[in-house]
Amino acid sequence: MLIDYRFSNFRSFKDMTNLSMIAGRQTTLNTNLIREYDLRILPSAVIYGANASGKSNIIMSLAVMKDIVLSGSLEANLPNLKNFELYPFAYQEVEKPIKFEIDFIYDRMRLEFGFEVEVSTFKKETGRIVSESLTYIDKSGQKTLIYIRDRDRIQINKEKKALSLIEFDENLLKQFEKKINENIDATELFLSRAFKSTISNELADMVLGFFKEKLVVVSDFTLKKMNLTFSMEDKPKKDFFAWNKILDGFVRTADFGPQGIAFKSSKSDSKESSNMELVSIYKYNDENIVIPSELMESRGTLKLVDFAIPFAKFFKSGGVFVLDEFDAAIHPELIKGILALFNDSDLNKAGAQLIFTTHNPIYLNNKIFRRDQIRFVEKDTDSYESVIYSLADFGSEEVRNDHNFLINYFKGNYGTLPFIDFSKLLNQDGNKEDEDGEV
């Protein structure tokens, strides 16, 4: 469960930016809230912003953090770790590290993990991890530092509380700490490497387990390639039977049409293995006609199908979806139906969460979202810096619960609304070229 995500100096965001899922003090739609660890936690949030405002950079930053944590290295060959993705805010006089911090609950334990990456602006070179820390937080909010890193030096907390958490002898720990500091790699996370292998596999797996099992981040949902074919070697056969049951229910409920959608065994080049392919099943003359789904189904249908299986899993055991442009190519009524499930604490007993960006103002509705669930991203035209704020930040006098959020948004009361006059383009001379023929 996500409590708080913070980052700074990433792409269009300069200062520390906080995507908090802690609920504010307002009392409306209190039944929406998740109550865990003596906290009031938001089950969902929507992020608005004009094109190029920076809202997608929020999702991208978390995707990059996830890749670094799971790979354990800045040198891993992963898409989000390419230097084009990992670059700092460009418009600053002094270069600073990119910072990532996350506060979450996993298996009834609350942990805070963060690190900083030093990387030059727009230069193709591997970055360096210059700080890192892991902290345990109890139900009273009391923090216990587990370890802290300052460039190439690791310091593990040897106080009684910290030692009990890592279950390590103090004298032995001093010996290990010395060896670790002699061999630390500037491009590797201590958590994913030495801490996991020599200090506390259990605590490391808490962090890694959250990122791997409980956090789905899609930094461009509109371009995401769907997983429509699986090897039987990768997944047990019983998983596909369970998935087909989920897909059948999802397709029927969403009323995508008369066809069925399911995983079906298909022949592969290897005689020793077979694949499971997502197919659409149509009835024709009392026969089942099977056609690959990617040939027959719309992009919106395939997106929802791809979402269906982790959706069902998270509603049973908890998890966090963070999706960019989730509602693109999907009817808003379907999205509203999905939001209703996340926002209903009687149905969402495992505390699943959904955070997504959108341009569709239809969700600006006080029957769907609390004020603190609605976020806006705006980019300053002078500094080119993006900032995020919530509707609750305006205060109860400026934004009341009985206000029409949608109408006020189009009035420009909440900012972020672009006012562009394209007619000026028609009056420009489009044939202005220099002597070399360049525009």
247-251, 372-376, 408-412: least confidently modelled range: 247-251
* Residue pLDDT, tens place only, 69-110: 999 999 877 666 654 578 899 888 788 999 999 999 999 999
Confidence of residue 202 (pLDDT cuts 50, 70, 90): very high
Mean pLDDT of the 165-190 span? 92
Whether the predicted pLDDT of 228 surpasses 70: no
Say if residues 220 and 85 touch (Cβ distance below 8 Å). Answer: no
Q: How confident is the model at residue 306 (pLDDT cuts 50, 70, 90)?
A: confident
Pick from 293, 315, 337: which residue ends a domain?
A: 315
Higher pLDDT: 330 or 350? It is: 350
The mean-pLDDT minimum among 41-45, 329-333, 388-392, 431-435 falls in 431-435
User: Mean pLDDT across the stretch 340-356?
Assistant: 95
Mean pLDDT calculated for residue range 158-166: 95
Same domain, 207 and 334: yes
Question: Does position 398 have pLDDT exceeding 80, yes or no?
Answer: no
Who wins on pLDDT, 151 or 439? 151
Measuring CA to CA, which residue among 255, 224, 229 is closest to residue 240? Answer: 229
**Does residue 170 surpass a pLDDT of 50?**
yes
At 355 the pLDDT is 97
| Across 189-209, average pLDDT | 96
Are residues 28 and 64 both part of a single domain?
yes
pLDDT band at 156 (very low <50, low <70, confident <90, very high): very high
Q: Same structural domain for residues 194 and 214? A: yes
Identify the band that residue 234 occupies on the pLDDT scale cut at 50, 70 and 90.
low
Residue 351 confidence (pLDDT) above 50: yes
Q: What is the pLDDT of residue 285?
A: 86
Listed in sequence order, the residues at least 6 apart from 355 whose beta carbon sits closer than 8 Å to its beta carbon are 2, 19, 21, 44, 45, 46, 47, 320, 321, 322, 323
Q: Is the pLDDT of residue 132 over 80?
A: yes
Quick check: 272 pLDDT over 60? no
Three-state secondary structure readout of 178-217:
HHHHHHCCCCECCHHHHHHHHHCHHHHHHHHHHHHHHEEE
Average pLDDT over residues 164-193: 93
- Tell me: do 201 and 97 sit in the same domain: yes
CATH at 366 = 3.40.50
Q: Are residues 370 and 253 in the same domain?
A: no
Single residue among 315, 350, 378 that ends a domain in this structure = 315
Please name which of 439, 404, 290, 388 lies closest in space to residue 12, comparing C-alpha atoms. 388
| pLDDT score of 280 | 86
Residue 317 neighbours by CB under 8 Å, 6+ apart:
350
What's the chain look like in SS3?
Answer: CEEEEEEECECCECCCEEEECECCCCCCCHHHCEEECCEEECCEEEEEECCCCCHHHHHHHHHHHHHHHHHCECCCCCHHHCCCCCCCCCCCCCCCCEEEEEEEEECCEEEEEEEEEECCCCCCCCCEEEEEEEEEECCCCCEEEEEEEECCEEEECCCHHHHHHHCCCHHHHHHHHHHHHHHCCCCECCHHHHHHHHHCHHHHHHHHHHHHHHEEEECCCCCCCCCCEEECCCCCHHHHHHHHHHHHHHHHHHCCCCCEEEEEEECCCCCCCCEEEEEEEEEECCEEEEEEHHHHCCHHHHHHHHHHHHHHHHHHHCCEEEECCCCCCCCHHHHHHHHHHHCCCCCCCCCCEEEEECCCHHHCCCCCCCHHHEEEEEECCCCCCEEEEEHHHHCCCCCCCCCCHHHHHHCCCCCCCCCCCCHHHHCCCCCCCCCCCCC
Asked which of 269, 286, 315 is the last residue of a domain, the reply is 315
What pLDDT is attached to residue 419? 64
268 lies in the same domain as 210: no
231 pLDDT higher than 60? no
Residue 282, pLDDT score: 87
Lowest mean pLDDT, pick from 56-65, 142-151, 370-379, 408-417: 408-417
Q: How confident is the model at residue 157, as a pLDDT?
A: 96
Residue 397 pLDDT grade (very low, low, confident, very high; cuts 50, 70, 90):
low
What's the confidence (pLDDT) of residue 269? 52
Q: Does the pLDDT of residue 150 top 90, yes or no?
A: yes
Q: Is the pLDDT of residue 299 over 50?
A: yes
Confidence check: pLDDT of 321 > 70: yes
Residue 437 has what pLDDT? 53
**Greater confidence, 32 or 401?**
32
Same domain? 345 vs 253: no
- 68/13 same-domain check: yes
- State the Cα–Cα distance between residues 263 and 309, nearest whole angstrom: 12
- The pTM (predicted TM-score) of the whole model is 0.86
152 and 164 share one domain:
yes
User: Would you say residue 320 has pLDDT above 90?
Assistant: yes
Report how many domains make up the chain: 2
235 and 164 housed in the same domain: no
One domain, residues 395 and 331: yes
- Name the residue range of residue 249's domain: 225-315
Instruction: Please check whether residues 350 and 397 belong to one and the same domain.
Output: yes
Q: What is the per-residue pLDDT for 327?
A: 84
Q: How confident is the model at residue 223 (pLDDT cuts 50, 70, 90)?
A: very low
In angstroms, the CA 211 to CA 325 distance is 21
Bigger pLDDT: 224 or 195?
A: 195
In this structure, what are the phi and psi dihedrals at residue 376, rounded to the nearest 5 degrees?
Answer: -130, 145
Is pLDDT larger for residue 392 or for residue 429? 392
